[in-house]
Amino acid sequence: MATISSISLSARANILAKLKKEVVGADYSKLPPEPDYIYPDLTHQEQLAQFITHLENNHAQVIKTDLFNMAHVVTEQLKQRDIDSLLYGKNSQYSGHIEAIDSSITLSDFDFSIDKDNSAAKTRLFYQTPAGITGSRCSIAATGSIVLWPTPQEPRTLSLVPPVHFVIVDAKQLYSDFATLIKEQKWQQNLPTNAILISGPSKTADIQQTLAYGAHGPKELIVLLLNS
Amino acid sequence: MNVHQVDPNESKYSASATAFRANVDRDLANDELRDNFRGAMDYLMDKRKNAFPIEDELETLREKCKLIKQRCLLKLPQLLEQLEANLQRNGIQVHWAESITDANEIIAQLIAQKNGKTVVKGKSMVSEETALNDYLEARDIECLESDMGEYIVQLAHQHPSHIIMPAIHQNKKQVAKLFADNIEGFEYTTDVDALIGEGRRVLRDKFCHADVGISGVNFAVAETGTLCLVENEGNGRMCTTVPDLHIAITGIEKVIEFLDDMPPLLSLLTRSATGQIISTYFNMITHRRQEGDKDGPAEVHLVLLDNGRSQAFADEEMRQTLQCIRCGACMNHCPVYTRIGGHAYGTVYPGPIGKIISPHMLGIDATKDLFTASSLCGACGDVCPVKIPIPKLLLRLRKESVRKQSDGSPQIMHGQGAGRKTIEALLWQGWSIVHKSPTLYRISMFMLTRCRGLMPKKIGPWTTVRTAPQPAAKTLHERIKARNKATTQGAK
Amino acid sequence: MTQLNTQHLRSYPNKPAQVYLYGTCLVDSFFPDSGIDAIEFLEQQGVEVLYPQGQSCCGQPAYNSGYQDEAKAVAIEQIKQFPLDIPIVIISGSCGGMMRHHYKDLLADDVPEIEKFCDRIFEFTEFLVNVLRVKLNDKGDPQRVALHTSCAARREMGVHITGRQLLGQLDNVELITHDYESECCGFGGTFSVKHPDISGAMVKDKTKNLLDTDVVKYISADWGCMMNINGSLDYQKKGLRGEHIATYLLNRTTNNGEA
């Protein structure tokens, strides 16, 4: 059987040749103008209300708090769920405030690596981690989305694998819509390994159109909203 | 020569598409199946309707997204090269595949290089198109679907019946029975939370230990070299994050030029598909795992598949087929799909979009009964978020299907002319001769009305569910002639 | 659920003294009463109606079956039959869609100024509402009816609204909307014979939804759909029947309003 590169090289040449033949002489300066799509101009308060409504409609829990009460809120929420441990990222944006959590909760750092040869770490993350907490980069009002750019301190799986995900959102970092956010933050120039928009807990309607939460990702998304 | 070289033995869908009529008979007779589809389609149509409360807004977005996709298609070859260069710069390797065998072999070898034995798959219709699971299982690689719907379908040894909701043909009782029969220790319940919980339990273990994750792609951004995935469950994130090796597979038409092109397309996609303003997760992958990262795959690969797309691309009208963003709205609103369900089509993509894309993948010979199975009601074209003129393309395919092979017309599609039947062609020629001659037409209508007593009670397929209409005693032509005469005489 | 379909946005002429009637092949040989009724109704509105005897079929059956050359030969012949620059009123949304829209594609290379011809095409109810701006005086008894709008009328001509407006003008008529009102009845021309089982399943559902409304009759502006739906109702031995809107309007507004 042919090798990957020989299959790919000949396929590449054939596909591109076929396609190029059809667009020879295409005048890209004469493309029709694309209409602008503009989101309604809302005040910050209106956007915030929109953001919260969308999240709540998507079954997320939104709790307005501040940096100093945050740890207490998290403690209370964990206790309500009979959860006594929380995974977080040390030296992350809000780690200092997270560390103020009640001593009855075992706070542990995501200080292990998820890879093939580390099944102990995987097992721990998948089976012994009932809740995780992360910060966020910003959020989007029009769709009720929270934007995460995971870091080495707060890796991708921290917001994905634990059944309960606490996410800290700064209301000052709220954008009207995704297009505006990309433009203002110039995402074209600095996209991270993984950028993720989260708009609620994991869900599915794959069985008879009946919504069920916690398909594979977190069953619960608890939004800790600061500066609202 | 841009005609797609279809090897009928290559795709398992060739045979099942050819069997369309038998499939229809089978599925129309299944009342439970029809109830499942009707209920699901009502739900999805309602969701979409509520997601677009302002008609003007919807129309602006549709026009914008149509133009975005048309621009990206016009620049397709250069965008693919740009995408490849940027992905490689980001540490993501790119492979090209002309046929489904190319794609499957590339993926099998990538897995073999890592000694992979277990694969978890996020939802990918392109991998359904290549029948990747079969290919890998034949090589002793376990390939598990992880989207809940796909998981159910795989467990039942079926194919997805809908591109967004793969198990839409099953109701919860059927799923409960399936689980009880196949999952050890599972006790029969129709509680959906419990069913999903069971799926979660089984699949968590797979995510935790799988060697490879395979996913599809919703948008591939050329400008930044980014793969975008839309999903609700989190299995897509699992597949693209936890295993050491992530392989994405997509069709060449999924590339978009700018990052700015993505938000409007995303908004239309989720709202058209399930009526969501956005999916739970929108996952943008731009690099493989980097120095210092604690998770993420060490290797990321993208496989770009042609499989007949360049054939559609070569014809400006049929190129519009490639605007599709796979939302499924056309099938949700299709009265034919609602009646026969997704499996009857026998193709990987069912419904209206399937009728216009499958002929490019499988050839007209295998698909010639699909595009005639439409009343051309136009519901699909009305809801298509990127304004693909589906009814018009159905007409075009009918034309290619009955095209005379001996007239020296250019070879546009694999199997063109395969739907031409001599008797039918003669009938239409005769019809044309009669109807273009006022005299012949009047004579034949005269005959028809005068012989009305001789009209058979049964006229072929028409009268299997209807009575035959009765010709009038006199034609409208005659009655108006008489009426005009009377008026003129009266005036005198 | 009506979608804005820009295809049918058009400007309308003033009321003309004369129009052509395009009867359609189906009405010609099977349902000529509707043609006569349409003419009478138009005449009552003070419009002279010309009916060229050379007309036959718009070509749609062949066109929809992929036999475009055969359709083209017939279409070209139709155009010749309507030389005067006056509106052509068609008592079928489906044939109207063919002549108003598909002729542009089919005949672009063969007929100079095909657009001009297409712009003269009006579906019957569209013409009544937007050109004649008719005001109806209902003389009939109270009645409940349903309306079936053909898909072509809805999507290609945008005239599902005009049928509704006309019935809305009839004071004693209560219009009942059936379930899945906008869904196709399953006719689709040759589709109904090429795929009789699918078509049959569609028309069965359509008749069920119409029967569920318990109306005395349903109204439509397309005999294609009605031939299908009435045929199915008759097969099921149900009494409900469809009536062409031209006949219905004529009867409701004249004489003793018997309809």
pLDDT, tens digit (0-9, with 9 covering 90-100), for B295-331? 999 999 999 999 999 999 999 999 999 999 999 999 9
For β-strands A220-226 and A61-64, DSSP reports them as parallel
Residues paired with B355 in a beta bridge: none
With contacts defined as CB-CB under 8 Å, which chain B residues touch A26? 74-75
With contacts defined as CB-CB under 8 Å, which chain B residues touch C33? 472
Within the 124-143 window of chain C, which residues sit less than 8 Å (CB to CB) from chain B?
none
The tally of CA atoms less than 13 A away on the side-chain side of residue A140 is: 27
**CATH 3.40.50 domain extents, chain C:** 16-131, 143-253
Q: Find how far residue A199's CA is from the centre of its chain.
A: 8
Are B92 and B302 in contact by the 8 Å Cβ rule? The answer is: yes
Query: Pick from B366, B153, B122: which is nearest to B250 by CA?
Result: B122
d(CA C181, CA B258): 41
d(CA C248, CA B168): 43
Supply C6's token pair.
């820009």
Put simply, the answer to whether B102 touches A7 (Cβ < 8 Å) is: yes
Please provide the DSSP assignment of B397-412 as one string: HHHHHT--GGG-----
With contacts defined as CB-CB under 8 Å, which chain C residues touch B37? none
Q: Tens of pLDDT along C38-80? A: 999 999 999 999 999 999 999 999 999 999 999 999 999 999 9
Q: Tens of pLDDT along B174-229? A: 999 999 999 999 999 999 999 999 999 999 999 999 999 999 999 999 999 999 99
pTM (2 d.p.) = 0.96
With contacts defined as CB-CB under 8 Å, which chain B residues touch A200? 280
The confidence band for C8, taking pLDDT boundaries of 50, 70 and 90, is low
Nearest CA in chain B to C5: B382
d(CA B424, CA B403): 12
Gap from B134 CA to chain C (nearest CA, Å): 32
Put simply, the answer to whether B465 touches C235 (Cβ < 8 Å) is: yes
Query: Pick from C90, C96, C24, C156: which is nearest to B391 by CA?
Result: C156
With contacts defined as CB-CB under 8 Å, which chain B residues touch C43? none
pLDDT number for residue C5: 46
Within the 17-76 window of chain C, which residues sit less than 8 Å (CB to CB) from chain B?
23, 25, 27-33, 35-36, 39, 51, 53-57, 59, 61-71, 73-74, 76
Mutation target to probe the B interface, by most B beta carbons within 10 A, among A20, A29, A193, A211 is: A193
For β-strands B281-285 and A194-198, DSSP reports them as antiparallel
Higher per-residue confidence, A14 vs A41: A14
pLDDT above 70: percentage of residues in chain A: 100
Instruction: Select the residue of B25, B428, B438 nearest C70 (Cβ to Cβ).
Output: B428
Residue C2 has pLDDT above 50, yes or no: no
Rounded to an integer, the average pLDDT of B354-376 is: 97
Chains B and C: how many Cβ contacts under 8 Å? 207
SS (H, E, C) A86-147: EEECCCCCCHHHHCCCCCCCEEEECCCCCCCCCHHHHHHHHHCCCEEEECCCEEECCCCEEE
Nearest CA in chain B to C226: B469
d(CA C113, CA C241): 41
With contacts defined as CB-CB under 8 Å, which chain A residues touch B77? 16, 19-20, 23
Gap from A106 CA to chain B (nearest CA, Å): 21
With contacts defined as CB-CB under 8 Å, which chain B residues touch A1? 105, 109
Gap from C74 CA to chain B (nearest CA, Å): 4
pLDDT number for residue B490: 64
Residue B32 has pLDDT above 60, yes or no: yes
Say what the alpha-carbon torsion angle B93, B94, B97, B103 is, to the nearest 10 degrees.
40
Q: Tens of pLDDT along C177-203? A: 999 999 999 999 999 999 999 999 999
Give the CA distances from residue B400 to residues B308, B360, C91, in Å, rounded to whole numbers and listed in that order.
16, 12, 31
With contacts defined as CB-CB under 8 Å, which chain C residues touch B56? 4
Rounded to an integer, the average pLDDT of A177-185 is: 97
> Which chains have 3 or more CB–CB distances shorter than 8 Å to chain A?
B
Mark whether B and A touch (3+ CB pairs within 8 Å).
yes
Are C91 and C121 in contact by the 8 Å Cβ rule? The answer is: no
Rounded to an integer, the average pLDDT of B112-129 is: 96
Higher per-residue confidence, C153 vs C43: C43
Put simply, the answer to whether C81 touches B438 (Cβ < 8 Å) is: yes
In this structure, the number of other CB atoms found within 10 A of the CB of residue A66 comes to 13
Q: Is B59 on the interface with C (CB under 8 A)?
A: yes
Nearest CA in chain C to B26: C197
Residue A16 has pLDDT above 70, yes or no: yes
pLDDT number for residue C3: 37
Please provide the DSSP assignment of C19-85 as one string: EEEE--HHHHHT-HHHHHHHHHHHHHTT-EEE--TT----SHHHHHTT-HHHHHHHHHHHHHT--SS
Gap from C172 CA to chain B (nearest CA, Å): 31
φ, ψ at B99 (rounded to 5°): -120, 170
pLDDT number for residue B7: 78
Put simply, the answer to whether A216 touches B281 (Cβ < 8 Å) is: no
Put simply, the answer to whether C36 touches B483 (Cβ < 8 Å) is: yes
With contacts defined as CB-CB under 8 Å, which chain C residues touch B42? none
Q: Tens of pLDDT along A36-67? A: 888 888 999 999 999 999 999 999 999 999 99
CATH class of C143-253: alpha beta
The confidence band for C256, taking pLDDT boundaries of 50, 70 and 90, is low
Chains A and B: how many Cβ contacts under 8 Å? 272
Q: Which of A127-136, B412-421, C71-80 has the lowest mean pLDDT?
A: B412-421
Residue B403 has pLDDT above 90, yes or no: yes
CATH class of C16-131: alpha beta
Gap from C54 CA to chain B (nearest CA, Å): 5
Set out the domains of chain B in order of their start, with CATH numbers: 13-311 (3.40.50.10420), 422-491 (no CATH)
Q: Which of B11-15, B479-483, C239-243, C244-248 has the lowest mean pLDDT?
A: B11-15
Residue B120 has pLDDT above 70, yes or no: yes
pLDDT number for residue C131: 97
Residue B423: strand, helix, or coil: helix
pLDDT number for residue B378: 95
Gap from B379 CA to chain A (nearest CA, Å): 22
Length of chain B: 492
φ, ψ at C197 (rounded to 5°): -70, -45
Q: Which fold has domain A41-226?
A: Rossmann fold (3.40.50)
Nearest CA in chain A to B71: A31
Segment (H or E) for A148: strand A145-148
Q: Is C191 on the interface with B (CB under 8 A)?
A: yes
Q: Tens of pLDDT along B257-299? A: 999 999 999 999 999 999 999 999 999 999 999 999 999 999 9
The complex scores an ipTM of 0.97
Put simply, the answer to whether C184 touches B432 (Cβ < 8 Å) is: no
Residue spans of the domains in chain A: they are 41-226
Q: Is B188 on the interface with C (CB under 8 A)?
A: no
With contacts defined as CB-CB under 8 Å, which chain C residues touch B477? 23, 28, 51, 53
Within the 227-246 window of chain C, which residues sit less than 8 Å (CB to CB) from chain B?
227-228, 230-232, 234-235
pLDDT number for residue C257: 52
Instruction: Select the residue of B170, B224, B277 nearest A54 (Cβ to Cβ).
Output: B277
With contacts defined as CB-CB under 8 Å, which chain B residues touch A207? 148, 152, 167, 170, 172, 175, 192, 195-196
d(CA B399, CA C15): 39
Put simply, the answer to whether A207 touches B175 (Cβ < 8 Å) is: yes
pLDDT above 90: percentage of residues in chain A: 93
Q: Is B339 on the interface with C (CB under 8 A)?
A: yes
d(CA C26, CA C33): 11
Put simply, the answer to whether A123 touches B208 (Cβ < 8 Å) is: yes
pLDDT number for residue C4: 40
The confidence band for A145, taking pLDDT boundaries of 50, 70 and 90, is very high
